[in-house]
Chain A
Amino acid sequence: MFRSTRTKRLVRLTAVLAAASAAALGLAGCSGSGAGSAGSATSGNITWWGWTPQPNNAKTYIADFNKKYPNIHVTYKQVTIDGWNAALRPALASSNGPDVFNISPGQYMTAFAGSAIDLKPAVEKALGSDWKSKLAPTNVTGLSTSSGKLAAVSAGSTSAGSLWINADLFKKYDLQPPKTLADWKNVCSVFKSHGVGCFVQGVGQVAFDQDTLQSIADSVQPGMWTKATQGKVKWTDPVFVKTLDIWKSMFKDGIFEDGALGVQQYPDASNDFMSQKYAMVMMGTWYMQYATQDGMSAAISAAGVGTPVKFPILPISFPDVAGKGNPATLFGDSDYGLAVNAKSKQQAAATTFAVWLGTSKAGQQAIADGLNDIPSLKGVNANWDAIKLVDPTTQKSALTTLTQQATASSEPRLSTVSANLQTAIGVAATTVAAGKATPAQAVQTLQTASTSAGSN
């Protein structure tokens, strides 16, 4: 009898504790969903997780931030892009996740926007009611949900659609950057005749195949790729058959190296270019950071070169591979935005940091000078005189032009592509390259994937 009463008491106590815990958790959850009001806005210790920028750039941003907010201590943790999903998902599910985390448009928005607070009121407070007009549009649209919530403040944007060349190698073999498919083929045959690899791309990494295919499609008919990703035209349109046909010919004609399907863009292709095994690589504006002396030294060392020798890298436009005279285009989105964790106990300080980096002139100047991203705030440009390029004479004008073109571009890169569609694009690209499917068959499978994803 005594035992039974004791057991009952224990059960009751457990139930009360469980109910109290659930209530506490519920309250914590509720408090976490506020608009960045938890904690102090001017002091605290916050953590920031991102796959980019590189730690040296992040250190600079934080140091500049601390000039204005000395009492907010920011700890940056870089997580590899491959491990981002695996690391962030459980972190956000727990109550110990980062206070600030990166989000990029597209699949990461789909996956993680729900865990972020709405930063629109904070940005509005910082820039005024006309805040949208002060920021580059692609930096806002890609990080806003369909309900209008601003899930992250963009640090800056990146664009793809450019190629990068090793200017020294082109000079050594007296070659000009290719402007057409025939030029490209010729350049590659000359490089190969000298035992130098021509063009390297990690075809095994889908996002970069997508960039090349979008560039080819824009050469065939500008804008059609974007329309297809938005479900406004069908993937079975002849434009995409032609696109995959050209893609296939680039393998057949030796522009892509044998074995490109087994190469990853990072680290393989980037390392091969940085160790001067190849003269050209498919990369976007984010590669500007390696045009600097420090950036290049770090990249060459990371590529495993024993005695690093710096060389000037130059961006060039994607050749007119369709031969139709369409101008080469850049396409881009916000590279990453800073989101504030809805469960953070220091939302106010985290919001201060996110908004400072994304909207203040000082924050955006730091972004511009880092050359990893193009600033989101209009009117802020890189301070070229203070940036130490490997060869300013040849690089400065090319980089300035690239930045201007990227700022003017309006075509999205990733924000209109779902994870499932991106997988389907990867399958289409690699099956055609491997000769397992014809371009006509591949566009059919793309259309099927698009239809099942509800696009059209």
Chain B
Amino acid sequence: MLVVGLLYYCIGYTGYISTLTWNGTDIEKLHVGLANYVAALQDPVFWKALFHTVVYFVTTFVIQTALGVFFALLLHSRVRLGALYKIILFVPVVLAPAVMAPVFRQVFAADGQFNFVLDHIGLSSLAQPWLAQSSTALPVIMSITIWEWTGLTFILYYAAMGQIEPEMLEAARLDGAGNGRVLWSIIWPSLRGTTTALLMLSAISALKTFDIPYLVTVGGPNYSTEFLGTLIYRQSIPQSNVGYGAALSILLLILALGLAIVLQLVGRERKN
């Protein structure tokens, strides 16, 4: 009860701060009403961050789901050294982003290992400064996320596939269903619950994204990897616009609540 109360107090206090022009430490606080919200809605960087969040969510969710299902199917068949592959797939999930960020900065640098590999497999024309270009920085961030979280998606799908009745699959086979048909008509519908859960997790994760974009690219270059989380941090901490940062936080909360309601409604409709 105390924790819940504290949580709502914090939300309320953030709401109060969002009506101030305040640097976070000064005694003097200037009340500006809803001006911070108006400024946020007129801020092109805010809309850019929102757009990145949507692109990031859709791309990472689709690719992670496809890879997760693929690896789960693969490892449910008889593969040698299956346990080893499971470990390899899951290891990125437990590695701390703060530890991996400098590694990725080096790997994707202009003189980094990724370009080195491209040079040595005859694809030197594709080598480029991946993190230094607006056009490639966001895809790199998304690929890191996919690398990091596919292991979790795989594990959940792997577990879900283990729950499918073998008799059902055998019956389908006896009825003459091929691999594609079995996947599409039996396995995939059985994974709907897992997919819905992953959809919600991915959506929440996309809204909260902060660590990898901030640690690898600091939101740049030119805001090309700016997300709501990094924008809130940039405004609240380095730029000392705590009031504005609080307004962005409240907008993020509204978005998260809106998304949760939509997902709930969609879930209910499907159940009905």
Please report A residues at the B interface, Cβ cutoff 8 Å. Answer: 85-86, 89, 92-93, 107, 110-112, 114-115, 197, 203-205, 257-264, 268, 419-420, 423, 427, 430-431, 434, 436
Contacts and interface: CB of A to CB of B under 8 A. Distances in A.
A420 B239 contact: yes
B59 interface: no
Contacts of A92: 25
Contacts of B237: 85-86, 89
Given A261-B221, A262-B108, A430-B222, 9 more contacts: A89-B24, A197-B111, A204-B221, A262-B217, A262-B221, A264-B105, A268-B109, A434-B134, A436-B134
A263 B105 CA distance: 8
Contact of B132 (A86, A114, A115, A262): A262
A309 to B, nearest CB: 21
Contact of A264 (B28, B133, B218, B241): B218
A85 B137 CA distance: 26
B240 A85 contact: yes
Contacts of B27: 114
B23 A111 contact: yes
Contacts of B110: 257-259, 262
A261 B129 contact: yes
B130 interface: yes
A14 to B, nearest CB: 15
Contacts of B129: 258-259, 261-262
Contact of B239 (A262, A419, A427, A436): A419
Contacts of B137: 262
Nearest to B137: A262
B239 A423 contact: yes
The number of chain B residues touching the other chain, given as a range, is 20 to 34
Nearest to B102: A267
B222 A110 contact: no
A419 B238 contact: yes
B240 A419 contact: yes
Give the interface centre of A85, A264, A420 by most chain B CB atoms within 10 Å: A85
Contact of B218 (A107, A115, A197, A204): A204
Contacts of A204: 132, 217-218, 220-221
Residues of B contacting A: mostly: loop
Nearest to A108: B240
Contacts of A85: 237-238, 240
Given A260-B132, A261-B132, A434 B222 contact: yes
7 contacts: A89-B237, A258-B129, A261-B220, A262-B131, A423-B239, A430-B222, A434-B221
B109 A262 contact: yes
Nearest to A114: B26
A111 B24 contact: yes
Nearest to A264: B218
Contacts of B220: 204, 261, 430
A235 B241 CA distance: 23
A110 B23 contact: yes
A115 B28 CA distance: 12
A86 to B, nearest CB: 5
A434 B109 CA distance: 16
A87 to B, nearest CB: 10
A420 B238 CA distance: 10
Contacts of B25: 89, 92-93, 111-112, 114-115
B77 to A, nearest CB: 41
B222 A262 contact: no
B26 A259 contact: no
Contact of A111 (B105, B128, B221, B240): B240
**Which 6 residue pairs across A and B have the least CB separation, nearest first?**
A259-B110, A259-B129, A262-B132, A262-B131, A261-B132, A114-B26
A392 to B, nearest CB: 34
A204 B225 CA distance: 13
A112 B237 CA distance: 12
B23 A262 contact: no
A257 B238 CA distance: 28
Nearest to B27: A114
Interface string B226-257: 00000000000111110000000000000000
A259 B132 contact: yes
Contacts of A205: 218
A203 B25 CA distance: 30
A189 B185 CA distance: 62
Central interface residue in A93, A262, A420, by most chain B CB within 10 Å? A262
Contacts of B28: 114
B225 to A, nearest CB: 10
A405 B272 CA distance: 79
Interface in B128-162: 128-134, 137
A159 B214 CA distance: 29
Nearest to A205: B218
Nearest to A277: B111
Contacts of A260: 132
Find the residue from A86, A204, A264, A420 having the highest chain B CB count within 10 A: A204
B84 to A, nearest CB: 30
A66 B131 CA distance: 48
Contacts of B239: 107, 419-420, 423
Interface string B82-122: 00000000000000000000000100111100000000000
Contacts of B240: 85, 107, 110-111, 419
Nearest to A90: B24
Contacts of A427: 222-223
B248 to A, nearest CB: 15
Q: Which of B24, B221, B237 has the most CB of A within 10 A?
A: B221
B235 to A, nearest CB: 10
Contact of A263 (B109, B130, B241): B109
Nearest to A260: B132
